């Protein structure tokens, strides 16, 4: 399914016929209207997909966009971790064709083979004290753990990531570096040696992957808007020019929403583009896309540090608090460099509400990046929370 094309076509068609609800919802709500009036400065983009079920319960989509700019860059931050998790679990599935004992929870050891690489022997946050791909996926989805994402990046590798993204229709997504370790070329092209084992003593390897180097060309990603801001900090030094994101990860709202579709609605994806996952790994994804951090035993996350609305920007972002009663939010967020992203599927079986909503907003009024002075609390979180509330109320009253 050419989902990007479909989203843009539906958004354009609906807008042309006056059926797109987003402009009116933004215009008539004061909290949203103030931001929408400066949508360009905020690099605001919204993708809203209605879901209609037929008599057999099969989902049908209709998408609407607000200022969708597939060619305009935004930094995806942690939102990019969901595609990485999908491709890591799919690689395990493919490897099992030759090694049936292999599982996503098979004990994992990672070595270091070059500058900047780090090894992993144990993971004390897991039930058996060992690292595993399943445990890393869990940490990525529950609390957006950066190191866990980096390990998935190393397992799949840059070449495998680019191939998998294209195969599943995520054609504008580029995964080209680890997070929070200053990763860039050439280090980003090198991945660690690793092995998966059948036993926690790490004596019987099931799969051994040597250190690798990616010598191909990175996809270009978005060509517009990759220079952001007016200045940035490099250590303590202020550089008076825009920050260049041309060597950073990249994606689009349509690609992010499609990554949710691949997990939640596999039957709506053309067979050639569906994920290759067994039921256990698909359940791992589904459970941890909506699960609250305090509900996890391994790892254990204290509720004081990780409240229920942690990582739930749409409908619940802002000060610590509970989620709306009866609502499940399957989502993956991103926050960095003044960009806020939430990519969510929201459902309430009691009210019949069910929709997907993805949004990005840039909130950096001083124009300086890396100074940790962003308008997350004053503009970003309130906007995304209110956007979720407004669309949710619209869905409650919409004739299905």
What pLDDT shows up at residue 225? 86
Dist CA 232 CA 245 (whole Å): 12
**240 pLDDT more than 80:** yes
DSSP class per residue in 70-128: TTB----GGGGHHHHHHHHHHHHHHHTTT-TT--TTS-EEE---STT---BS--TTSTT
In the DSSP assignment, the letter for residue 174 is: B
Dist CA 29 CA 25 (whole Å): 6
- Pairing type for strands 339-348 and 353-362 reads antiparallel
DSSP class per residue in 269-289: S-GGGS----HHHHHHHHHHH
Can you say how many angstroms the Cα of residue 353 is from the centroid of all Cα atoms in its chain?
Answer: 23
pLDDT category, 3, cuts 50, 70, 90? very low
Query: pLDDT digits over 46-55, tens only?
Result: 999 999 999 9
**131 pLDDT more than 70:** yes
pLDDT category, 6, cuts 50, 70, 90? very low
What pLDDT shows up at residue 223? 72
pLDDT category, 8, cuts 50, 70, 90? very low
What pLDDT shows up at residue 17? 44
Count of Cβ atoms closer than 10 Å to residue 315 Cβ: 24
Dist CA 134 CA 89 (whole Å): 8
- Cα three-residue angle 393-7-14, rounded to 5 degrees: 65
**399 pLDDT more than 90:** no
Dist CA 96 CA 331 (whole Å): 28
Structural domains present in the chain? 3-397 (3.40.710.10)
User: Please, what's the b/e burial string for 24-55 (b: 16 or more CB within 10 A of its CB; e: otherwise)?
Assistant: ebbeebebbeebbeeeeebbbbbbbbbbeeee
pLDDT category, 379, cuts 50, 70, 90? very high
pLDDT category, 116, cuts 50, 70, 90? confident
Nearest CA to 290 out of 141, 121, 109 is that of 141
Cβ neighbors of 34 (< 8 A, separation 6 or more) are: none
pLDDT category, 4, cuts 50, 70, 90? very low
What pLDDT shows up at residue 200? 95
Of residues 17 and 115, which shows the higher confidence score? 115
Dist CA 355 CA 22 (whole Å): 14
Percent of the chain with pLDDT over 90: 92
Ramachandran bin of 352, using left for φ above 0, alpha for ψ from -120 to 50, beta for the remaining angles: left
Residue whose tokens read 């993971």:
123
- Pairing type for strands 368-369 and 231-234 reads parallel
- The residue-averaged pLDDT of 241-262 equals 97
Dist CA 350 CA 185 (whole Å): 50
Cβ neighbors of 234 (< 8 A, separation 6 or more) are: 370
Mean of the per-residue pLDDT values of the chain: 94
């Amino acid at each position: 399914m050419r989902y990007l094309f479909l989203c843009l076509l539906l958004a354009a068609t609906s807008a042309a016929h006056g059926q797109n609800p987003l402009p009116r919802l933004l215009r008539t709500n004061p909290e949203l209207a103030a931001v929408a009036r400066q949508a360009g400065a905020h690099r605001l983009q919204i993708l809203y997909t209605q879901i209609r079920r037929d008599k057999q319960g099969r989902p049908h989509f209709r998408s609407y966009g607000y200022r969708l700019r597939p060619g305009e860059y935004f930094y995806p931050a942690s939102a990019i971790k969901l595609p990485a998790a999908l491709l890591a679990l799919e690689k395990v599935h493919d490897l099992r064709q030759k090694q049936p004992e292999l599982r996503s929870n098979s004990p994992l050891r990672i070595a270091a083979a070059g500058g900047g690489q780090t090894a992993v022997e144990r993971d004390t946050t897991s039930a058996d004290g060992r690292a595993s791909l399943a445990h890393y996926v869990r940490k990525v989805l529950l609390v957006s753990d950066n190191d866990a994402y980096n390990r998935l990046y190393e397992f799949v590798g840059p070449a495998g990531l680019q191939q998998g993204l294209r195969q599943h229709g995520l054609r504008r997504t580029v995964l080209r570096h680890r997070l929070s370790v200053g990763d860039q070329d050439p280090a980003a092209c090198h991945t660690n040696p690793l092995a998966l084992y059948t036993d926690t003593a790490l004596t019987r390897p099931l799969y051994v992957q040597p250190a690798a180097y990616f010598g191909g060309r990175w996809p270009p990603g978005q060509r517009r808007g990759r220079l952001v801001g007016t200045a940035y900090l490099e250590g303590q030094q202020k550089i008076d020019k825009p920050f260049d994101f041309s060597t950073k990860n990249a994606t689009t709202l349509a690609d992010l929403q499609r990554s949710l579709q691949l997990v939640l609605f596999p039957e709506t994806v053309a067979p050639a583009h569906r994920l290759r996952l067994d039921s256990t790994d698909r359940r791992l994804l589904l459970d941890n896309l909506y699960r609250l951090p305090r509900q996890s035993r391994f790892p254990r996350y204290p509720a004081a540090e990780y409240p229920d609305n942690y990582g739930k920007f749409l409908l619940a972002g802002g000060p610590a608090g509970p989620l709306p009663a009866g609502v499940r939010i399957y989502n993956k967020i991103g926050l960095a460099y003044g960009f806020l992203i939430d990519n969510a599927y929201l459902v309430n079986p009691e009210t019949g509400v069910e929709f997907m909503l993805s949004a990005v907003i840039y909130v950096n009024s001083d124009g300086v990046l890396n100074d940790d002075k962003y308008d997350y609390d004053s503009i970003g979180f309130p906007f995304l929370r209110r956007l979720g509330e407004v669309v949710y109320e619209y869905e409650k009253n919409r004739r299905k």
